[in-house]
Amino acid sequence: MTEDTYAHIPVEKLDDNQARHELARLADEIAHHDALYHKTDRPEITDADYDQLRKRNEKIEARFPDLIRDDSPSKRVGAAPSEAFSKVIHAVPMLSLANAFDSGDIEDFMSRLRRFLMLDASDALVFTGEPKIDGLSASLRYEAGVLVQGATRGDGAVGEDITRNVHEIAAIPKKLKGDHIPEIVEIRGEIYMGKADFLALNDRQIKEGKPAFANPRNAAAGSVRQLDPSVTKARPLGFFAYGWGELSDRPFATQSEALAQFKAWGFAVCEHSETLPDPQAIMAHYGRLAALRADLDYDIDGVVYKVDRLDLQSRLGFISRSPRWAIAYKFPAEEAQTILLAVEWQVGRTGALTPVAKLQPVTVGGVMVRNASLHNSDEIQRLGLRIGDRVTIQRAGDVIPKVIAVIEGGPRDETQAIPIPTYCPICHAEARREGDDVVIRCTGGLTCPAQRVERLRHFVSRDAMDIEGLGKKQIKAFFDGGLIETPADIYTLETRNVTLKIEAMPGWGAQSAANLFAAIAARRTVVLDRFIYALGIHHVGQSTARLLARHWPDFGDLRSLFAGERAAAMEAL
């Protein structure tokens, strides 16, 4: 991704050149995180951190409107649909929602609506409040009351065709019930997985030697984005209806009437949806749902408030990527307090030493947490952390929890300082910072076993070569067993299996070994940018890999470039 040279500068202090660079960086970074969330269901950052990126982008665009880019995140919804599925053009775009993070944002939202509609304080403005289900958004098309198509949101204009899969979800009606059924009905809603079903599914995954899902949203999205519909059928999925797309006739005049009609047609509607007459009722409703959140059997990450009357919605209209008449009031990330027991330093593929907090187990949002991120040594010093401290941890989605504060007033004389490593904990090579880098790195390079394993993991990862069946556990076992040392060794596994006998190894069998060899064979050829990214070159992320592939589309040219750079470096020595 683009370097964050100006990310630390407040928006009000940016000059034109800095703002231009920041908008380019934010467009690149937000697109990267959109793709991870919408296409691979594997986000790297919390919702709160993502929202901060968008908020900074919006502030810069407001201050420098002449610099707004064609690829601005403010003009985009979601991410482009996956190439693995056929595409569906939405007759009515599936837009996103504006976000609110505190009561002040809600008050501003109300004021904007009243000004736009020219209402005074005595005029009624009724809202519906609906829990924001954390799942996969989907659009279901019915013709003559019969389900004929299912699609994901995609980029808002074009989604993925998941028709065969939604037909296998028992919670989705295949034929609408009751009266007042228009000839064409598109129902929008959220496909989700309940918390209890999620835990049971993960138990099965682990027993079968398969990777566990990080959270219910990822499990739901991964269950729907299957090329084999029988996998979807076997997963316990639910569906809540909350809106509509194309309608040949509309038999309701308010959002609350629409929800009642959806229920009459046979859809589940979230039971905690309410009609709210004023801002005080909205804040009370938000408070009730925030308190209830941990006890629900499905994940919610906020509450969506919509103007109830559809004629007022029509008057309010839309902005580029969201309706004016609705807002998502997000919940803060969930927090808990516990004891810091120890700090372990993990070695990444570029040698970065990352501190990981080992915690006294604590439940956060229904998940047992034992480890948390500390980012780097500067963060340890900033927080003033010591072993034995009572700390606050924060968890959001499937991103690793992080330590955010030390609880004041603890017995500091009983705690221990956290030693900052000067040697790699794995290969014992010197560990040091380079220049202004905040990261301490192992200098062992490829002589460090940990770096070699992490580079192999990166090489086969989903965004790189994407080799099915070679996860973290399998790579580590193959490396420790001497089966693979370099990426090239992966492609000779099948020919060497006459003596290796992978099918006889623990957790493997004849069929799983055959599946692995087929997966490796299928990824002998990939697009150039994936291969460049898979090499794990320091400072070469996905965006840089795409740029390199665009400028040097022939790999031979790129290899010559690298060879020339290496020769020049050797000559300089």
Q: Is 448 annotated as a binding residue?
A: yes
- In order of 211, 303, 361, the CA distances from 208 in angstroms are 9, 37, 26
Which tokens belong to 347? 């070695």
For residues 332 and 133, what is the distance between their CA atoms, to the nearest angstrom? 15
Task: Read off φ and ψ for residue 440, nearest 5 degrees.
Answer: -85, 130
Calculate Rg over the CA atoms of the chain: 26
Q: What is the DSSP letter of 36?
A: I
Q: Which helix (H) or strand (E) holds 341?
A: strand 334-347
**Dmax over Cα atoms in the chain, in whole Å?**
83
Q: Is 47 annotated as a binding residue?
A: yes
Q: Is 49 annotated as a binding residue?
A: yes
Number of residues that make up the chain: 573
Q: Is 424 annotated as a binding residue?
A: yes
Q: 547: buried, middle or exposed (CB in 10 Å: 19+, 13-18, 0-12)?
A: middle
Is 13 part of the annotated catalytic residue set? no
Q: Is 227 annotated as a binding residue?
A: no
For residues 426 and 440, what is the distance between their CA atoms, to the nearest angstrom? 14
Q: Is 270 annotated as a binding residue?
A: no
For residues 458 and 542, what is the distance between their CA atoms, to the nearest angstrom? 12
| Cα three-residue angle 336-201-172, rounded to 5 degrees | 105
The catalytic residue among 132, 195, 233, 402 is 132
Q: Is 59 annotated as a binding residue?
A: no
For residues 181 and 251, what is the distance between their CA atoms, to the nearest angstrom? 8
Strands (E), 10-93: 87-89
Q: Is 223 annotated as a binding residue?
A: no
Q: Is 188 annotated as a binding residue?
A: no
199 Cβ contact partners less than 8 Å away, ≥ 6 residues apart? none
Which tokens belong to 317? 């209209």
Strands (E), 447-544: none
Q: Is 97 annotated as a binding residue?
A: yes
DSSP-based three-state secondary structure for 367? strand
Type of residue found at 204: R
**106 neighbors 263 (Cβ within 8 angstroms):** no
Torsion angle, CA of 178/179/185/190, rounded to 10 degrees? -40
Q: Is 442 annotated as a binding residue?
A: no
Residue ranges of the binding site:
47-51, 96-97, 130, 153, 190, 306, 330, 424, 427, 448
Q: Which residues are catalytic?
A: 132
> Which residues fall in the annotated binding site for Zn(2+)?
424, 427, 448
